[in-house]
Structure 1
Amino acid sequence: MINKILLTVSGLGHAEEMLKTLREIPSIESAKVTILHVVQAQNTAATMTAKWENGGKILANAIQTLNLDPSQVSSILREGDPKDVVCQVADEIDADLIVMGSRGLKRLQSILSNSVSQYVFQLSSRPMLLVKDDIYVKRIKRIMVAIDNSDSAKNCLKLALFLLRDIQGGQLILANISTDLGGKKSEITEVNSDKNPVLAAAVAEAQKQGIQSRAYISSGKPGEEICRLAEELNIDLLLLGSPDRRPSIAKSFVDIDRLIGSSLSDYVRVNATCPVLLARTIA
């Protein structure tokens, strides 16, 4: 399911560390990795030359840090607008997963600062793993899926099971949130999934594949609750579905409603205390 990974590097952040952790997962240890660094256009030839040289060093350092088999890694150094180039290269190599660092900027800040990760998520249909600069990347054992009846959540469940199937001692954490927009929070409760159809189906699928699972419920504002559960349950990787609400005519444009509104994926991207894998189902 994950055979080609696009890793974007800038010389800062935890993206390389995240990929090294991912490569410890047996189901994707043989995936091909393309490392991308984008050089933005500069005003002078001398400055541009310096940027190209620095970009080459960043790629070389990333390759050395990752210590991958040469047959499994390639690098690309390209000029352009990073948010456009990342999407282009992801399409060119037909990436199954994009791994990027993120500063965790809030909605309006993302627009004003031209946040690359936020724009790439809006414009790409591919799963995207975001790693904020201020989090600690842990070895992946406990994977949480925010589960409901949506197709995007079901796709996240499939991806989580794929990742967990060969992780010794791995555990799937299923979280089902009852929405209370008033913000009234309930206790985080571990439940017997038999009384919750959504959880029951997910637990049954995990059992079928021999994967240990635990199910939890809570209520409150969904974004806040998902982040609260991820932190309190000491989650190593959070998977969240994000359906694309835009009409087909607008697929090439950033969803401004999401950027400045209160979208679930945007809240979790900014506030989660663990790496977040966002997966989209295109309508």
Structure 2
Amino acid sequence: MHIAIYSRGFITEDLANIQQLLDELLREEITAVIYEPFYHTLQPHIRFDAEPLTFTHPEDLNSLTIDCLVSLGGDGTLLDTVFYVRDKNIPVLGINFGRLGFLASIGKEDIYAAVKALKQRTYVVDKRTLLHLDANIPLFGDVPYALNDFTIHKKDTSAMVKIHTYLNGEFLNTYWADGLIVATPTGSTGYSLSCGGPVVFPEAGSFVITPVAPHNLNVRPIVVPDNNIISFEVEGRSDQFLCTLDSRMETIDNTVQLAVKKEDFTLSLLRLDDSNFLHTLRHKLLWGIDARNRWK
């Protein structure tokens, strides 16, 4: 059994947990395949019984049968894993070494249970929808998809933009705003939520279109079926705008034609049996917290 491990880095306080993870994998006779830049930063601080297998590029995972990719970090780190697993159907398990940990929902205290679940395959698999971006110029290389959201945004301190938005070619609205977010159900608890968008259950077949600081007070987020193709025309006083897929960014101008749709494949997120979306809402977003409320 091969488990890939990805992380952007670590803080000193995490070293004991990283050592525990590697020791548990070794004890269960699971081979760790570590992201090479992460391995080099760990080397002076972590005890390795032998030099581990490493990977740097997505293609490196093709030569091995990877049963799972473990993300060590916060939600941003887990979003990075989309670049590596792509359409290989490698499930991702997030251990939260970050702050909120909405996607990376397994705590450091559950490392032992997580490794046991991987070995015994007693985890639960959640299939998460991805967004696919089409454009009339090459954007985002060969990874034009996102787990959380796609955004169009004004650049720097430039004036607000006008984003003409269409559903399957039919005009929806012109947004006068700092930007516009199209979020998957997974991404509904991210940037979209902070801009007033609704929380959407992961299995809901929908996208959320949320304006960023709209100039029209009567413009609100809208939920649309995910079988729609959502296209855009952007204009503004500035010649350049920003376009993002999760944490990746490109600069575009108003000649670029953009459209998003549901990706043909999904991302598999793993969780432990005792953790689900309602549990995460209550404990990560403090959903319904009140001295009069009690939950187990």
Per the normalisation by structure 2, the TM-score is: 0.35
User: Which structure's residues are more often helix, by fraction?
Assistant: 1
Higher RCO structure (Cα 8 Å, ≥6 apart): 1
User: Which structure's residues are more often strand, by fraction?
Assistant: 2
Per the normalisation by structure 1, the TM-score is: 0.37
